[in-house]
Structure 1
């Protein structure tokens, strides 16, 4: 069999096959999955951390339009993703879909890139959270403990929750997500009711503001805010009625994130005024959201936002932990990683071995960051969230292309909108974003051109690694290669 050809036809969405001993199971509904992926997007972290920086370095008052534009592109991407999930009912998400559309070697290359992307964005947040905890404890009069100690403590707590039943993680995420979203919505309402700084307006959505400053940088921060939503398909085996739950959760996640970010960033602009918001961000971007909350809600809101910002970061790393462990589980079930990672806990029904490995990986990265004396926010967070943003756009662009090729090769009862039009439009939007990202990548990571080139090369190398591994598997174990993309039977 040719090593370049993906499995020849669609898998019936309701096909009945034997369940492997390593199969994950569960009863997650739309709301539980949406909690998982929206928490990974870290709403308060984006609004309170990324938006002020995007306003300062990007296109100022035009940032809300960037979130709206990103949401529209990602909704188009979601059409193909959700349609593909019906005909390829597998939990591997990116690597499974790319494998079926563009061939097993590139599919496995995509899997390695996905692992790199999610691992680095999680590591970036561990750094930011460690630095934030260190600062907060010191400000409260506590001991000055190195940031990496706090990061390792969070790794341990995250690992404990990830080891157990996913419903426990889902409940924890639900509580934290409700709190952080609640305070931001309350602030939005207060700004709107009080009329902002000098009356409400829609200037943020005009071409003049959209193209002001450095729109490319604003777009980068906007796209980064959505990282994690596409992971809905990874929870397929643990979803209740996955053929309905996964598409609904995907659309809901994009819509919720897009509306929330657009409204909240616009509200932040209105709170200071279109002409004053850049100066406010420049004064203290890290404290901008807290100062705004105090101005419009009172002193209590400043403290509340500070605390919820920390819990938002924790919810983010917990969600990414669950995503990474399930990616490893799917790859192990497809013989692309050690089989031991595909084992499921008898009582918790969780990929507990994969969870332990993921926790160890995160701990090692934190130790490396500490040993090399990287700043937890300006270097760990900025650099590694930058490369994750680049990686996720490449992943989504490849998935869009895979959807187009798959439905062109296979006859399926799907309309032109789902199989062709939406994926083409999504691919065009993603390619445009990718060009902007690459051209501004040095600025995005805040490093040198040499460092930027190394990071871009790392993205390419991760894909090539998977392609080479697939060729080796095909040569040494043809039977395993034939099922490489299937990840696990339902």
Structure 2
């Protein structure tokens, strides 16, 4: 494997890495959100747990909040191009200790999202093999096999991943659109626009609706991670981010509205969804009744590929954060190694794959003989880690909103007051509110009747990562000032050294 370490040879021709246009980055973003997974899994669970019909209008509200966040985020992306994305923004807007704290939070959050999704992926694969072929395969076997597949994509050209994900995402959109058309044409209790009405925001449980809904957008902010691999980073990041927010927000609102019609709004609000129906069965039950078992099989397979697409996308995000931290010297410089031919951060990719295998093996051992049976990886690995990751990413976005203000405070750089001040303030207040709601409802997200130690330990991992990062930055300032000075400016530093 031909590779080079960027920290040692900053003159690596970055033009070899600039292969991504707006469509490719948008696909990578949407793949992380996993449209079919959100509708068949996330929206159905939100209806089951909250008993509120406001899920569709909740997606619209969250899309508006994230679009406002994107205004300042996009403005800052014109001046900072760094695979460390949030970490670089925080370092240059709020100071290096905050930047390193944010980088470790991002690393933990994205890792939790990626590794957690393996739990649902393993369950779905083992269930499909058992139902269709009579093969009784432990959930973790299929996971280990596909960790290798994702790892192979991770060390090759990123546009290859974009092409693979593009096909998967297109099929997801087609499948869900077919469901939408059938649901709108055949509502169980008659047609109603109540789920999309702003009046639904006043119904009880709206806080829990927003908490469940925000997870559907996780990954939308990842455009900046691919800035160093974009053909025109100053435009690509902004355009891809806004495109993803609009597409995701509108599609999820319409599709969850269709889902409400397929379930029945009276059934949702009256708490008539049974335990056996809750979650994906609400979606697939309607598909089986209206479209037949062949379509159920097809969509079940797409459900798995949807999870796979999200796994690839989050894997890429973790690999690039490791690359950025290695290049800055915050973590071992070997993590900044990239393949000469593809420009892919192979060291970060392999490190992410190894960490995923370690956690998966630990959960596989812990789940041996569990009373949860085959649901163990879903109830534990998937539920625990993805919700923790979502909490971390909302925290990151709130901090970045403040970083935008700090970045432009010293020099407005001809950016309007709306983009550099008003939008970030609104975004921070809204995201901080969502963050409080997540923390307050974390036991609900974990499907716990009452809070226990786990309710506090998992969010504590995010907080601990942030504190550890800030402390490590202060240590670097004393012991390795040259590394400290480079934090958050890795790409700029490499370019300056090459030109010099």
TM-score when scaled to structure 1? 0.93
Residue 233 (structure 1) aligns with:
224
In 2, the alpha carbon distance for the partners of 1:162 and 1:283 equals: 38
Please say if 1:319 is aligned against 2:313: yes
Which of 31, 34, 52 is matched with 1:60 structurally? Answer: 52
Q: Are 1:45 and 2:48 matched, yes or no?
A: no
Confirm whether residue 142 of structure 1 aligns to residue 124 of structure 2.
Answer: no
Equivalence for 1:421: 422
Question: C-alpha displacement at 1:25, in angstroms?
Answer: 1.5
Distance 1:119 1:22, change over 3 A: farther
Note if contact 2:57-2:195 (Cα within 8 Å) is conserved in structure 1.
Answer: yes
**Match for residue 393 of structure 2?**
392
2:272 to 279, 296, 299: 279
Deviation for aligned residue 1:195: 4.8
Aligned to 1:295: 289
| 1:254 aligned residue (240, 245, 255) | 245
Shift of 1:307: 0.8
SS of corresponding position for 2:78: helix
What secondary structure does 2:266 align onto?
Answer: coil
Question: 1:109–1:464: 8 Å Cα contact kept in structure 2?
Answer: yes
In structure 1, C-alpha distance between the alignment counterparts of 2:48 and 2:437, rounded to whole Å: 18
8 Å Cα contact 1:59/1:217 also seen in 2 = no
Structure 1 match to 2:112: 120
In structure 2, list runs of 5 or more residues that go unmatched: 1-8, 371-375, 496-500
Counterparts of 2:283 and 2:430, CA distance in 1: 30
SS in 2 for 1:446: coil
1:87 alignment partner, SS class: coil
Deviation of 1:286 (Å): 2.4
Match among 92, 97, 100 for residue 100 of structure 1? 92
2:477 to 474, 477, 481: 474
Question: Is 205-214 or 373-382 further displaced after alignment?
Answer: 205-214
Deviation at 1:370, TM superposition (A): 1.1
- Structure 1 distance, partners of 2:309, 2:198, is 35
Task: Spell out, residue by residue over 1:394-444, the C-alpha distance to the aligned partner (whole angstroms, 9 max, x if none).
Answer: 000000011112212223101111111111111111011111111111221
Structure 1, residues 243-275: CA drift from partner, whole Å, max 9, x if none? 111100010011111111111000100123211
Structure 1 residue 132 and structure 2 residue 133: aligned? no
| CA displacement, residues 447-468 of structure 1 (integer Å, 9 cap, x when unaligned) | 4431111112211110011111
**8 Å contact from structure 1 (residues 281, 288) kept in 2:** no
Q: Distance in 1 between matches of 2:85 and 2:274?
A: 38
The Cα shift of 1:22 comes to 8.2
Q: Following the alignment from structure 1 to structure 2, what is the Cα–Cα distance between the partners of residues 397 and 188?
A: 33
1:52–1:281 Cα contact (<8 Å) kept: no
Shift of 1:164: 1.1
- Tell me, in whole angstroms, the C-alpha distance in 1 between the residues paired with 2:99 and 2:41: 34
Q: Give structure 1 stretches of 5+ with no counterpart.
A: 1-17
Q: Does 1:161 align with 2:153?
A: yes
Mapped to 1, the partners of 2:74 and 2:167 lie a distance apart of 27
Deviation at 1:282, TM superposition (A): 4.5
Q: Is the 8 A contact 2:82 2:227 kept in 1?
A: yes
Q: Which residue of 2 aligns with 1:10?
A: none
Q: 2:436 — aligned with what?
A: 435
CA gap 1:20/1:279 in 2 versus in 1, 3 angstroms:
farther
Q: Residue by residue, what CA displacement relative to the aligned partner does 1:338-385 show, whole Å, maximum 9, x if unpaired? A: 111111112222111111111111111101111221711111111111
1:168 offset after TM fit, Å? 1.2
8 A contact 2:90–2:400 mirrored in 1 = yes
Q: In the aligned structure 2, how far is the partner of 1:413 from the partner of 1:199? A: 53
Matches within 5 A, 1:341-380: 341-373=335-367, 375-380=376-381
Q: Secondary structure at the match of 2:338?
A: coil
User: How far apart are the structure 2 equivalents of 1:163 and 1:50?
Assistant: 30
Contact 1:114 1:392 in 2 (8 A): yes
Find the aligned partners of 1:227 and 1:35 in 2 and give their Cα distance: 14
Moved more, 328-337 or 442-451: 442-451
- Measure, in 2, the Cα distance between the counterparts of 1:411 and 1:348: 37
Q: Is the 8 A contact 1:155 1:363 kept in 2?
A: yes
TM-score with structure 2 length normalisation?
0.91
Q: Whole-Å Cα distance in 1 between the matches of residues 91 and 488 of structure 2?
A: 6
Partners of 1:272 and 1:133 lie apart in 2 by 26
Match of 1:463 among 466, 471, 474: 466
In 1, are the aligned partners of 2:263 and 2:282 still within 8 Å (CA)?
Answer: no
Cα separation, 1, equivalents of 2:245 and 2:435:
19
- Aligned length, in residue pairs: 472
Q: Alpha-carbon deviation of 1:191?
A: 2.1
Per the alignment, residue 4 of structure 2 pairs with none
SS of the residue 1:310 aligns to: helix
